[in-house]
């Protein structure tokens, strides 16, 4: 199958770069993959997609990989868009959906990006990769690196959720707990580049994780029969999810597969414990400043400085969306409330999105009859420390008290 990549492009200045070499940053900023969309339009139609397997790789013409044989896969499936009528009603909406990315390999949407990044890295001859992680990226990188037969180094803050620590180690990654934040971990990866000879898989420091995450937008569009919702609510850490979806929508509009007249309003959600993007949005800045003393139970949001900050803010503004931070202390309450209402294993990052929707419906920014989609970016089960709640116990040597059992919450 032909490949439709024409070139790479510096996101900060539009400079054209070679797509046949492995790439990292350009002027310390992200690089984007560009395609010959005219040729893609001539090569495939939405109808023709229907016959393909239900996985992220079905959007082949809009993806950067060379050969099917290169693909490193753990069986990524299409994730369901689940209607949430009870939650909708609680939030003052007629309709609300959750696209449940927790069903992907390693339990988070990070598998999309890392499947693509590892596929490309191996194709370009990389044998050793390294990355800083807030948690789930490390787990996904470790798994896909193992799948690809690559050596993987993971650096994470020492209070990263224990499941993320263990899943990296289990998959054979050389895993390190660092007494700093994710940006400190990022520095280690940068510093080791010469000596260790590894390829840096950090968020947006190579162009391909973004292309993997772009498939969230492609998939959403196809699942909605090429008519996108009014509002997309997305938790933001490094921003690849939001930037990737926005890139997907631009490409689909250029192909004429979706209308270019009305895009979804992109809502970037952070926690008050780490809100560099929401702060920059409020101040009308294009670049964000390092957020001091970053802390949040939603570990995926604990990214105090993002190399793609301007791309997140551009997408939010171009879409007519907004960026906001919700109160850190309320995240676990929102999580419990949402999981009880719908049974979907919502991670704390996506619980922040539920809180944001509550805020935006009560302010009138989201109208009752609008179609709203929240992304559940990861599985609640990966956050055992945060979830811990005392359970009622039963002593089998005593008679059973059915009334007490019925009243237990
Ligand atoms: C990484 C992560 C995020 C943040 O994603 P970005 O696209 O990097 O902003 C949100 N939620 C979870 C569960 C994550 O693992």
Q: What is the pLDDT of residues 59-114, one digit of tens each?
A: 999 999 999 999 999 999 999 999 999 999 999 999 999 999 999 999 999 999 99
Residue-range definition of the domain harbouring residue 280: 81-107+207-387
Q: Can you tell me which atom of ligand 1 is nearest the CA of 134? A: 1
Contact 134, 237 (CB under 8 A): yes
What's the number of domains the chain is made of?
1
CA 348, distance to chain mean position in Å, is 13
Q: Is residue 164 part of a domain?
A: no
Rounded average pLDDT over 332-361: 97
Cβ count near 265 (within 10 Å): 20
Q: What is the CATH number of the domain that holds 101?
A: 3.40.50.1100
> How does residue 396 score in pLDDT terms, banded at 50, 70 and 90?
very high
Q: What pLDDT does residue 45 have?
A: 97
- Tell me the DSSP string of 181-231: -HHHHHHHHHHHHHHH--EE--TTSSSHHHHHHHHHHHHHHHHTTT---SE
Q: Is residue 153 part of a domain?
A: no
Cβ count near 282 (within 10 Å): 13
- Is the distance from the beta carbon of residue 244 to the nearest atom of ligand 1 less than 6 Å? no
Q: Can you tell me which atom of ligand 1 is nearest the CA of 312? A: 9
Q: Can you tell me which atom of ligand 1 is nearest the CA of 113? A: 7
Distance 96 CA to ligand 1 centre (A): 21
- Is the distance from the beta carbon of residue 238 to the nearest atom of ligand 1 less than 6 Å? yes
Q: Is residue 393 part of a domain?
A: no
Q: Can you tell me which atom of ligand 1 is nearest the CA of 349? A: 11
Q: Does pLDDT of 1 surpass 80?
A: no
Q: What pLDDT does residue 304 have?
A: 95
Which pTM does this prediction carry?
Answer: 0.96
Q: Is residue 59 part of a domain?
A: no
- Is the distance from the beta carbon of residue 164 to the nearest atom of ligand 1 less than 6 Å? no
| 3-class SS of residue 342 | helix
How many Å apart are CA 202 and CA 231, to the nearest integer? Answer: 28
* Ligand 1 mutation target, pool 103, 168, 300, most atoms within 8 A of CB: 300
Q: Does pLDDT of 390 surpass 90?
A: no
343: left (phi over 0), alpha (psi -120 to 50) or beta: left
Distance 74 CA to ligand 1 centre (A): 20
Q: Is residue 17 part of a domain?
A: no
Q: Is residue 266 part of a domain?
A: yes
How many Å apart are CA 122 and CA 143, to the nearest integer? Answer: 14
Rounded average pLDDT over 155-163: 95
Cβ count near 24 (within 10 Å): 16
Closest CA to 95 of 317, 311, 357: 357
How many Å apart are CA 150 and CA 110, to the nearest integer? Answer: 18
Closest CA to 64 of 209, 218, 199: 209
Which DSSP letter does residue 131 get? E
- Is the distance from the beta carbon of residue 237 to the nearest atom of ligand 1 less than 6 Å? yes
Q: Is residue 289 part of a domain?
A: yes
Residue burial 224-245, b: 16+ Cβ < 10 Å; e: rest: beeebbbbbbbbbbbbbbbbbb
Q: Is residue 88 part of a domain?
A: yes
Q: What pLDDT does residue 7 have?
A: 97
- Is the distance from the beta carbon of residue 378 to the nearest atom of ligand 1 less than 6 Å? yes
The three-state DSSP-derived secondary structure of 282-316 is HCCCCCCCCCCCCCCCCHHHCCCCCCCHHHHHHHH
- Is the distance from the beta carbon of residue 64 to the nearest atom of ligand 1 less than 6 Å? no
Nearest-CA residue for atom 8 of ligand 1: 238
In which residue are the tokens 């660092």 written?
178
């Amino acid at each position: 199958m032909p490949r439709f990549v024409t070139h790479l492009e510096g996101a900060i200045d539009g400079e054209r770069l070679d797509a046949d070499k492995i790439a990292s940053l350009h002027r310390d900023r992200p690089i984007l993959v560009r395609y010959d969309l005219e040729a893609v339009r001539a090569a495939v139609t939405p109808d023709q997609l229907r016959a393909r397997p239900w996985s992220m790789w079905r959007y082949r013409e809009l993806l950067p990989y060379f050969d099917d044989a290169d693909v490193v896969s753990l069986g990524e499936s299409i994730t369901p868009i689940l209607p949430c009528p009870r939650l909708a009603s609680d939030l003052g909406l007629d309709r609300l959906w959750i696209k449940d990315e927790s069903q992907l390999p390693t339990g988070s949407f990070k598998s999309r990006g890392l499947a693509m990044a590892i596929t490309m890295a191996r194709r370009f001859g990389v044998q050793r990769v390294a990355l800083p992680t807030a948690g789930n990226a490390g787990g996904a990188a470790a798994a896909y690196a193992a799948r690809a037969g690559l050596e993987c180094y993971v650096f994470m803050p020492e209070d990263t959720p224990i499941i993320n620590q263990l899943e990296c180690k289990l998959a054979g990654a050389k895993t390190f707990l660092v007494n700093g934040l994710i940006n400190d971990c990022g520095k280690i990866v940068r510093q080791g580049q010469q000596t260790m000879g590894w390829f840096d898989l950090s968020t947006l420091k190579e162009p391909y994780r973004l292309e993997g995450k772009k498939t969230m937008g492609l998939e959403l569009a196809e699942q909605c029969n090429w008519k996108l919702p009014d509002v997309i609510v997305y938790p933001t850490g490094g921003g690849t999810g939001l930037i990737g979806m926005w890139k997907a929508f631009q490409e689909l509009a250029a192909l004429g597969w979706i209308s270019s007249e009305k895009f979804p309003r992109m809502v970037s959600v952070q926690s008050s414990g780490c809100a560099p993007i929401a702060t920059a949005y409020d101040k009308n800045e294009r670049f964000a400043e390092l957020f001091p003393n970053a802390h949040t139970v939603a570990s995926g949001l604990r990214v105090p400085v993002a190399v793609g900050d301007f791309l997140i803010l551009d997408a939010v503004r171009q879409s007519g969306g907004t960026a906001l931070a919700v109160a850190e202390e309320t995240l676990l309450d929102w999580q419990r409330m949402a999981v009880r209402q719908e049974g979907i294993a919502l991670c704390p990052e996506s619980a922040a999105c539920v809180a944001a929707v509550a805020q935006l419906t009560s302010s009138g920014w989201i109208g009752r009859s609008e179609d709203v989609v929240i992304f559940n970016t990861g599985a609640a089960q990966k956050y055992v420390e945060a979830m811990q709640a005392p359970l009622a116990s039963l002593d089998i040597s005593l008679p059973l008290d059915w009334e007490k059992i019925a009243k237990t919450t």
